[in-house]
């Protein structure tokens, strides 16, 4: 099962691709619906915008039913990842314009902030409950982080020479992490298996265009976006 959304203008809508069939998803009353994550039972998370463009609203979609997920007091909320136990991660923007990560578990929010960060973004969660994302430092550079199921935070930076920024987007239940990194040539995707990093560029995609590895399944399938979107397999 693959999820995503179209791009361009006020007609953005989400979709689910399963067994070759595409199902369009547009949150009722919205002008834009963006889908970022899906779990194995078909629950989908993302964000939608209303016609007043007042800010994003996070949501959970399942079997045609939409549940809005807004962090209390936030002026914008986006839901980015969900696991099979239905725990959801994302980020919200406060009234001062700063972003913070969150973990949502059946009505209860836990705020995620990296110490010393200007902004924090929570992007993915696996079934054991480990969260990955990235944060912005005072110089404007991004660094990846792992917020494990015990609440321990570890900074993760791609260790290649010349890397200036690291962004973590997905983690599977085996702890394999995917994301993107930036160097002088541009943006590349990467895979982190127990601290061993492998960088790659999507077919036909120069680093100046950028490759982003957005998710990895428990069987090693990697969702990658470059000049086009494609599905790769760990080890292939």
The whole-angstrom separation of Cα 80 and Cα 140 is 22
pLDDT digits (tens, 9 = 90+) for 121-150: 999 999 999 999 999 999 999 999 999 999
Decide: residue 194, CB within 10 A, 0-12 exposed, 13-18 middle, 19+ buried: exposed
Domain that holds residue 175: 113-236
Residues 68 and 171 in one domain: no
- Same-domain pairing of 122 and 234: yes
Quick one: 90 and 153 in the same domain? no
Query: What would the pLDDT profile of 155-177 be if each residue is shown by its tens digit?
Result: 999 999 999 999 999 999 999 99
Phi then psi for residue 151, to 5 deg, are 90, 5
What is the mean predicted confidence (pLDDT) over 113-119? 96
- Are 156 and 195 in the same domain? yes
Residue 35: its pLDDT value, please? 87
Beta bridge partners of 101: 91, 112
pLDDT at 236: 47
**Total domains in the fold of the chain:** 2
| 180/232 same-domain check | yes
pLDDT at residue 187 in the model: 96
Q: Give yes or no for a contact between 234 and 198, defined as CB atoms under 8 angstroms apart.
A: no
The model carries a pTM of: 0.90
Per-residue pLDDT tens digits for 1-48: 666 555 655 566 666 666 677 777 788 888 888 889 889 888 999 999
Boundary residue ending a domain (35, 59, 94): 94
Q: Do the domain assignments include residue 163?
A: yes
81 and 137 fall within a common domain: no
């Amino acid at each position: 099962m693959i999820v995503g959304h179209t791009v361009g203008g006020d007609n953005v809508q989400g979709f689910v691709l399963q067994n070759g069939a595409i199902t369009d998803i547009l949150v009722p009353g919205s002008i834009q619906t963006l889908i970022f994550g899906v779990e194995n039972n078909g629950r989908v998370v993302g964000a939608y915008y209303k016609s007043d463009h007042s800010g994003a609203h996070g949501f959970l979609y399942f079997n045609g039913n939409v549940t809005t997920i807004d962090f209390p007091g936030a002026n914008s909320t986006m839901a980015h990842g969900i696991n099979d136990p239905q725990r959801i991660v994302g980020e919200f923007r406060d009234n001062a314009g700063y972003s913070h990560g969150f973990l949502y578990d059946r009505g209860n929010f836990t705020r995620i902030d990296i110490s010393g960060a200007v902004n924090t973004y929570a992007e993915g969660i696996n079934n054991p409950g480990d969260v990955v994302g990235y944060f912005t430092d005072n110089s404007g550079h991004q660094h990846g982080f792992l917020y494990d199921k015990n609440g321990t935070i570890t900074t993760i930076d791609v260790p290649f020479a010349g890397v200036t920024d690291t962004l973590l987007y997905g983690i599977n239940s085996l702890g394999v992490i995917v994301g993107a990194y930036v160097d002088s040539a541009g943006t590349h995707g990467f895979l982190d298996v127990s601290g061993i990093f492998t960088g790659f560029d999507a077919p036909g995609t120069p680093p100046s265009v950028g490759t982003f590895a957005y998710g990895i399944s428990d069987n090693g399938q990697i969702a990658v976006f470059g000049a086009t979107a494609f599905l790769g397999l760990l080890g292939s």
